[in-house]
Amino acid sequence: MTKPEIVFLMYHELELPGRKLVQSDPGYTRYVLSESAFSRQLEWLKQNNWLGLCVSDALNFPSQPSVAITFDDGCETDLLAAAPLLKKNGFQATFYITTGFLGRTGYLSRAHLKELSDAGFEIGCHSRTHAYLTDLSPMQMANEVELPKAEIEQVIGKRVEHFSCPGGRYDERVARAARNSGYLTVTTSRFSANSSSTDKFNLGRVTILRTTSTADFERICRGQGLWLANAADRVRNGARNLLGNNLYDQLRGKLLRSG
Ligand SMILES: [Zn+2]
C-alpha cells in the first residue's frame, strides 16, 4: 500500500466585488482568487467527499482524501471571505500571519486575528516584515522567526506551531531557526505533496493562482502533475539563485507587466 499523501494548498488575499486589493501589480494579483472561485473549489472538495484540514490535522494523514488549506500574509479577507466559506463547508485551515502587516489597510487587525483564532481556525506565522529569510543575518533571522511567534501568541492566547516562508525563500538556516524557536513545522512553496516521511521542517505547498482552472485544481488536489510544476519551479529558483532575490524580483516584475 502506498503511503497517504496530502497536498497543502496555498492561498493569499481573496477578491470581493467592490473591494480594493492591498496591491494592484500583476506580480501580486496573480495570487489573488475571487471569492466565488475559492467558493467553487471548496464546493468541489465537499461534493467529492474531501476533507479540508489545518496543518496540524493534515499531519495525522487521515485515509480519507484530504487537502490542507493555508493562507499567507494575514489579509483582511481571511476573516471577511475565507473563514465564512470554510465554515459553511465544514473545513479547517491554517492562516499564516505577517505580524508587521497587522492593522494596515486591507490586513487583519489584532482584534480580527483573535476573532479568527477564536472561531477555531489555526494560526501560524509568516514572519514579521515579510523579508526574504535566505538573505538575512542570524540576528535578523531571529527577529523574523522568533519574535513574531511570541507576538501572535500574546494576541490569540494559544501556541503558534507552524511557520511559512515569505516568498517561498527557504534554506537549512530557516529550518534551524524555526526549530530553535519552538515551531513544529515549516511550509515552503515547493510543489510537492507531503507524506508521513516528509521532513516536517520542509513541507511542500502548492500555490493556487488566479489562473488555476477547475481541472487544474482537481489535479493539484490529487497530487497529479506536481513533478512538472516542480520542474518549472526549479528553473525559476535557479534563476533566482543566480541573480539574487532583488534583481530577480525586478526582472520578474518587468516580465509580468509586459506579458
Ligand atoms: Zn507572503
**Span 206-225, pLDDT tens digits:** 999 999 999 999 999 999 87
CA of 55 relative to ligand 1 center, distance in Å: 17
Q: Label residue 246 by pLDDT band (50, 70, 90).
A: confident
Compute the average pLDDT of residues 218-237. Answer: 77
The pLDDT value given to residue 94: 98
Task: Please tell me which residue, 135 or 156, carries the higher pLDDT value.
Answer: 156
Task: Please tell me which residue, 104 or 225, carries the higher pLDDT value.
Answer: 104
Distances (CA, A) of 17 to 57, 72, 105, 134: 32, 21, 17, 37
The whole-model pTM stands at: 0.90
Query: Is residue 149 in some structural domain?
Result: yes
CA of 63 relative to ligand 1 center, distance in Å: 30
Query: Is residue 57 in some structural domain?
Result: yes
Query: Is residue 83 in some structural domain?
Result: yes
Q: Is the pLDDT of residue 123 over 60?
A: yes
CA of 12 relative to ligand 1 center, distance in Å: 8
Q: Is the pLDDT of residue 243 over 90?
A: no
- Any alpha helices (H) in 69-167, and if so which ranges? 77, 83-89, 110-118, 138-156
Query: Is residue 135 in some structural domain?
Result: yes
The candidate with the shortest Cα–Cα distance to 207, out of 1, 47, 12, is: 12
Render pLDDT for 43-90 as a digit per residue (tens, 0 to 9).
Answer: 999 999 999 999 999 999 999 999 999 999 999 999 999 999 999 999
CA of 2 relative to ligand 1 center, distance in Å: 33
Query: Is residue 233 in some structural domain?
Result: no
Q: Is the pLDDT of residue 252 over 60?
A: yes
Domains of the chain: total: 1
Mean pLDDT taken over the chain: 92
CA of 1 relative to ligand 1 center, distance in Å: 36
Query: Is residue 256 in some structural domain?
Result: no
Query: Is residue 239 in some structural domain?
Result: no
CA of 106 relative to ligand 1 center, distance in Å: 14
CATH, residue 179 = 3.20.20.370
Render pLDDT for 152-181 as a digit per residue (tens, 0 to 9).
Answer: 999 999 999 999 999 888 999 999 999 999
Q: Is the pLDDT of residue 234 over 50?
A: yes
The pLDDT value given to residue 2: 65
Spell out which residues have Cβ within 5 A of ligand 1, the ion. Answer: 72-73, 166
CA of 177 relative to ligand 1 center, distance in Å: 18
CA of 50 relative to ligand 1 center, distance in Å: 26
Amino acid at 75: C
Q: Round to whole Å and give the CA distance between 72 and 78.
A: 9
The pLDDT value given to residue 259: 43
CA of 74 relative to ligand 1 center, distance in Å: 9
Query: Is residue 236 in some structural domain?
Result: no
Q: Taking a C-beta distance cutoff of 8 angstroms, is the pair 99, 128 a contact?
A: yes
Its domain, for residue 19, covers 7-225
pLDDT over 90, % of the chain: 81
Q: Round to whole Å and give the CA distance between 51 and 211.
A: 23
CA of 130 relative to ligand 1 center, distance in Å: 6
